[in-house]
Structure 1
């Protein structure tokens, strides 16, 4: 279900509106004024109606939303980087790797490979020597060295796996979505956002639910809602008015015509010749 765009709601705040709507529906059974939820309308029907009436609901909190958007825009403008600067210096600072980062990455990749290859070679040669000459002490030394390099390879693989996990967690925590949720907003912006949420819930969503549950036609409207000038979206159709002639305007008189007078010529006797 896609949310209808509203003139009082920016696209970036659409998910927040949907989240507040979902919270209100989850706790609807706890409110005495919404006791009709589930009898006349279920939560999915109410959600459908509210999403189709997004413009109407958000208009109830337009003042608080405008204040919140203004405060947020001022915060973003204040935290934006200065435009003037040397682009070449900035690019070099961004792309330059940290000290030791390249060597650490190379060692993380090469150590398991080299240690594993050495373990295979030493174990293969050592066991061959022991098979050919069991009394030869060099074969036993080669086997011991092979197992040592195998342990080194296993440890290197474990360290590399832990490093990848830590990097993934760090990148996930520093993503824009996580930063937006975790970072502490300034007090003015936080108050403005909370005021908008409260106004949207108390003056927009909950009154809409109460009106929908009190409307006798809400059950039909929730199934196929569409826009209407009323507060609750009404859906349905009325049959065409096939009323009889007595209910409409008086019928105009039908045109009449007479056939031409085709009289036969007078073909009488000589005494009746035409003059």
Structure 2
């Protein structure tokens, strides 16, 4: 009994890509030249997707090997990623008092300085408009302009800090085309290619040929075409029970004969048994 492999969700998209590639290049294969006459590409694709279990069972050994070594390759990588995540969390939780204080000063200095400058200048010029103006009106105006100068310096320092941070980050950042890609290990890539080739040659192509050769194939039916040459049988077949040959036993009935019982031979005294 052959058990059909159940594709994982990440492999179902791969299977559909293989199927679409075969159907899109069908005109290059003489054995698929019948596509479009009775069944078109969309109908064949629907039939193949409805028979995914049957088709992929033709490449069951390759898929089991591919899934196994892929899981084995992911185990150490997962452990390393978890360790890196823990280290990053510890680094993020480490207090950085110097950087935090600088950021607070950079943000608050322009805000507080601008507020103080506005208050002192407003009050100073209002007092300056009185007749006669108070003696401290000029001092308040001078203090207001001092805070205005502090505000300007704070804004300039914040702008310089942003430019320096941007330049530092750009020097350590890789361009998008130079970023390292997540490629599969060599052994996993070879196993994937072997499974893709097997499911293509032993699964999809025989299925399509059988569907095109079967005149009664229904594209709306959820099952595979009746003639699936080259594909393995899944499950088991019913034993072929046949009735006995009725012609040779017609009219016969079992015959039973009763045992032949005879009474004992009793005679007179002159007839004694020997």
Partner SS, residue 96 of structure 1: helix
Q: State how far apart, in whole Å, the 2-side matches of 1:105 and 1:147 are.
A: 22
The match for 1:57 is 55
Q: How many residues align?
A: 205
1:96 to 78, 85, 90: 90
| 1:148 corresponds to 2:181 | no
1:114 to 104, 108, 113: 108
1:182 is displaced (CA, Å) by: 0.7
Partner SS, residue 204 of structure 2: helix
Q: State how far apart, in whole Å, the 1-side matches of 2:102 and 2:58 are.
A: 58
1:112 is displaced (CA, Å) by: 6.2
TM-score normalized with structure 1 length: 0.52
Q: State how far apart, in whole Å, the 2-side matches of 1:212 and 1:104 are.
A: 73
The match for 1:182 is 182
Counterpart contact for 1:108–1:156, Cα < 8 Å: no
The match for 1:230 is 226
TM-score normalized with structure 2 length: 0.52
Q: State how far apart, in whole Å, the 1-side matches of 2:199 and 2:78 are.
A: 29
Gaps in structure 2 of 5+ consecutive residues? 80-84, 129-136, 175-179, 229-274
Q: State how far apart, in whole Å, the 2-side matches of 1:203 and 1:16 are.
A: 16
Deviations 1:76-107 (A, max 9, x none): 567676xxxxxxxxx98685336866548846
Counterpart contact for 1:68–1:196, Cα < 8 Å: yes
User: Aligned in 2, Cα 1:142/1:110: closer, same or farther, shift over 3 Å?
Assistant: closer
Counterpart contact for 1:112–1:154, Cα < 8 Å: no
Partner SS, residue 153 of structure 2: helix
Counterpart contact for 2:118–2:144, Cα < 8 Å: no
The match for 1:24 is 22
Larger Rg: 2
